[in-house]
Amino acid sequence: MSRVPLVLWRKEASLALRSRATWVVFAAVAGLAGALFAAALREAAGRVAALPTVFCGQLALVAPFAAAFFTMGLFARERASGTLEALLTAPVTDAEIVLGKFLSAYSLVLLSLAFSSLSLPVYLHRAAPPPPFAPGHVAWGLAAVALASAAWTAFGVLAAAAARRESAAGVATLAACLAAALLPGGPAAGLPAGSFAASLDLSAFSRGVADTRPAVLLLTCTAFFLFCATRVLESRRWASSR
């Protein structure tokens, strides 16, 4: 594997982590996740077995917000500063650029979800008596949320490559990913209002049922969105070379 995507990932991620806005987003996503978790717990009162599903459901619901923020400026900022043309004319492939951008945004999304996950140990510490739950079920649920977040982030990279403005890419990503997450049976199905299951039942993971169908579907969507983003970037490279 080429080192170019890793170099781009390190550069983009380090720049983002030095930005105050990134940490504000981490705090905002964690606060939203905690509030949703508290509300969902009130709805699921008395159902201890639902705790992993409720917890993973609220993470799946806040993931699109993180994906939208961390992907919307991936190409717009480069375009505004005039560095996108230099990147497109450099001896790197479009696939390497897209993969590097995806890895940087995805790592930031996962980091924001890691901060958001602190609401569970805080709840378990303050609950009286502490409710029993299976850590393995939570781990499977978190793996499912990570897969869904990869698809959201890949769609955000595609939107960022296709859109001319940051705001348009962010709104498109947030709207599409939230709509998918809130579909009946979607990855936020652990929330009281119902919410990606039938063919995309990620809540099953948080019950300890490792169904491979949603995992394969989400990995396929991630690869497809990244492929489309590569083709969009390729068209821009041809346009800039004329």
Give the pLDDT band of residue 97 (cuts 50, 70, 90).
confident
Q: Check residues 110 and 179 and name the one with the higher pLDDT.
A: 110
Residue 163's region, left for phi above 0, alpha for psi from -120 to 50, else beta, is beta
Task: Look up the domain containing 232 and give its range.
Answer: 4-241
pLDDT digits (tens, 9 = 90+) for 189-212: 444 433 333 334 555 555 555 667
- Residues 115-124 have pLDDT tens digits of 988 877 777 7
Q: Report the pLDDT value the prediction gives residue 133, as an integer from 0 to 100.
A: 63
For 18-134, where are the alpha helices, taking DSSP H only? 20-43, 51-71, 76-81, 83-89, 94-116, 119-126
Cα angle 200-201-205, degrees, rounded to a multiple of 5: 125
Rounded mean pLDDT of 177-185?
A: 72
DSSP annotation of 90 reads S
Distance between CA atoms of residues 99 and 129, nearest Å:
46
Condensed to tens digits (0 to 9), the pLDDT of residues 52-72 reads 777 777 888 899 999 999 999
Number of domains in the chain: 1
Total-model pTM: 0.82
- Residues 136 and 142: their CA atoms lie apart, in Å, by 10
**Please, what's the b/e burial string for 83-106 (b: 16 or more CB within 10 A of its CB; e: otherwise)?**
ebeebbeeebbbbbbbbbbbbbbb
pLDDT at 28: 93
